[in-house]
Copies of this chain bind each other. A is one copy, B any other.
Amino acid sequence: MKNTLTAAVLLIGDELLSGSIQDENLGHIAKMLERRGIRVRETRIVPDVEAEIVDAVNALRTRYDYVFTTGGVGPTHDDITSDSIATAFGVKNVVQQDVFALIQSYLDKKGVAFTPAAQRMAYAPEGAEIIYSEQSIVPGYRVANVFVMAGVPRIMKIMLDAIIESLDIGQEILSREVHANVSEGEIAAALEAIQHKYTDVAIGSYPQDPDSKRSNYRVVFVVRGTQSQELSLVCDEILTACRDGGYEAVGV
């Protein structure tokens, strides 16, 4: 799609890979970015291992306009994201005095000790731009095109809200759907012809489980692009193809 920006998401954490925790962050990040004309084109999930994080960050930051990481920014031994980002950029992970003061003042009020371990949360790679939020004590930050956020969904959302306004705006991505009681195999040829005619839209075809909450129809076609009129034309052609084949279909 023309004039859209691209992003990758890097989810960091052993627990996501073992299936103990179901990621909730990718979907939220993707939807927030889409509204700004930024498409997530790749996602990786890596364990709490520095070499793995470094390799992934370096692979992704050169390929996409933006990279968003979640997880690994707490005070414990398995929180190694800032160290890893620093290594990826070949700089030191250093204390951020303003963040340090902010956390100290917060903990002082609560009467909680600011331990050396907790102080690690005030570190970020040299040259990082701290992104403050009124709703969160520990802020996210950016290094070049890489944005670092917490893994806990509630905190990640607060950080992303603060980050989002600083991102460039791409062409808005629009989406339309056609739902049809069609056999995918019988509509596939017509669908492919439509896709070949409109190369600047992406047509996806998704068979639904019988217990799907998304649609009562057997297949959902999702049409995505940046030109509203073009999406309407594509949806009309899909609807016509379905109905010509004798299948029930509706635009959504």
Binding site for B on A (CB under 8 A): 13-23, 26-31, 34, 39-48, 52, 74-79, 112-118, 121, 152-154, 175, 183-189, 191-192, 195, 202-207, 209, 222, 224
Contact = CB atoms under 8 A, between A and B. Distances in A.
**Chain A at the B interface: SS class:** mixed
A153 B30 CA distance: 21
28 contacts: A14-B224, A15-B204, A15-B222, A17-B26, A17-B40, A18-B39, A18-B40, A18-B175, A18-B224, A19-B28, A21-B206, A23-B23, A41-B52, A42-B45, A43-B45, A75-B184, A77-B195, A77-B203, A78-B204, A79-B205, A112-B185, A113-B186, A115-B185, A117-B184, A118-B183, A118-B184, A152-B207, A153-B209
Contacts of A118: 183-186, 188
Contacts of A34: 18-19
Contacts of A40: 17-19
Contacts of A48: 204
Given A18-B31, A78-B204, 16 more contacts: A14-B202, A17-B26, A17-B40, A18-B30, A18-B39, A19-B26, A19-B28, A43-B45, A76-B187, A76-B192, A77-B191, A78-B203, A112-B186, A113-B185, A117-B185, A118-B184
A157 to B, nearest CB: 11
A115 B188 contact: yes
Nearest to A78: B204
A115 B189 contact: yes
Contacts of A23: 23
Contacts of A184: 74-76, 117-118
Contacts of A206: 15, 21
B45 A17 contact: no
Contacts of A74: 184, 205, 207
A188 B19 contact: no
